[in-house]
Amino acid sequence: MNSFRDFGYVQCVIMCAFCFEATLFELGGNNSSLDTTVSVLDVAESLGATTFLDFVRKTNLTGNFTQTGSITVFVPSNQAFEDIPKEEKDNLQDLSYVKFILLYHIVHGVHEKRSFRNEVQYNSESRQEAQSELLKVRMNVYHRGEIITASGSPIINFDNKATNGMVHILSRVMYLPPSFGSITRLTSLPITRYVSYGLLDGGLAEKLNRKEPYTLFAPSDLAFEALPNKTMDLFIRNKTAIHRLMENHILSGTYFSKGMEANDTFKTMLGETLTVDSIKGNVTVSGALLVLPDFTATNGVVHITTKVFLPPDFC
């Protein structure tokens, strides 16, 4: 009698399983044909990146983020968009600019946190107008991996997998891609003419035009004009002095402000030490405010400072 009841129970389970499979077949043909695609946009939505998604739709870039190829997307948080400086935020009214920036947040290939290496660069999907070369996103690893940045923007949420790639969440929008070119070209800005001339006269312009990564603390023209006349006289037609002065503003390697912590020290090419004084609000280095930090170059970064770092024997 017990065996009969057991046999009836098994028959019931088999019939239920058969009915379930038949239902699946009617809905989608078979189990493997069900749509299980979760694109990077779906992942971004699940993580609450609504501002990013709104811009993707406005610029008609949905296809770029749902492509079947493998991609990694650095998605800025909503707060990251809120924190964009006002002058840059005004540019978000121009959808062509927004498109340029959004494409810079897509890189080719799937890259997990464990694969990130300091100074590694990935091709993005953004390119400067009329140029064929893709702009690159530079990865930097600071403080033994506690801080990892993508073109200076810290990653705060790693390894969110999608069926077409990977999503990492940023706390800052990468709104300063290396569209100006090298560090040497960046110093042609109207507010850093003295630095531009100094690199040329000091014989360092070619070095800062190469592929090796550098960090340049570039004093504004106002910072140079505030120097005493007797100090400025030291540099007139003295290329050796100019060379030494410029070397004291250059670091080997890429150091974005978001990778700096209080009391960090850096050795300049001249051999002098610069120290991070504060990271509250704007970063200060050896008493100099980084008034315009993180100008991304193809070979590193430029920080506009309010102070000239004079070698000790020039003071």
DSSP string covering 102-136:
HHHTEEES---GGG--TT-EEEEEEE-TT--SEEE
Q: Are 254 and 139 in contact (CB under 8 A)?
A: no
Domain boundaries, the chain: 2-33, 40-170, 183-314
Tokens, residue 263: 């009391």
CA angle 258/260/266 to nearest 5° reads 140
Question: Domain 183-314: what homologous superfamily?
Answer: FAS1 domain (2.30.180.10)
CA angle 204/209/212 to nearest 5° reads 100
Tokens, residue 164: 């077409």
Contacts with 267 (C-beta within 8 Å, 6 or more apart), sequence order: 251, 273, 274
**pLDDT score at 21:** 37
**pLDDT score at 87:** 86
- Helix, strand, coil shares, percent, the chain, to 5: 40, 25, 35
**pLDDT score at 130:** 64
CATH number for the region 40-170 comes to 2.30.180.10
| pTM (two decimals) | 0.86
Equal fold, 40-170 vs 183-314: yes
| Inter-helix orientation angle 95-104/50-58, to 10° | 120
**pLDDT score at 201:** 95
Per-residue DSSP letter, 278: E
The pLDDT averaged over each successive group of 10 residues in the chain (315 residues) is 39 39 37 66 98 98 94 98 93 95 97 98 88 91 97 98 97 96 94 96 96 97 95 92 97 97 97 93 92 96 97 85
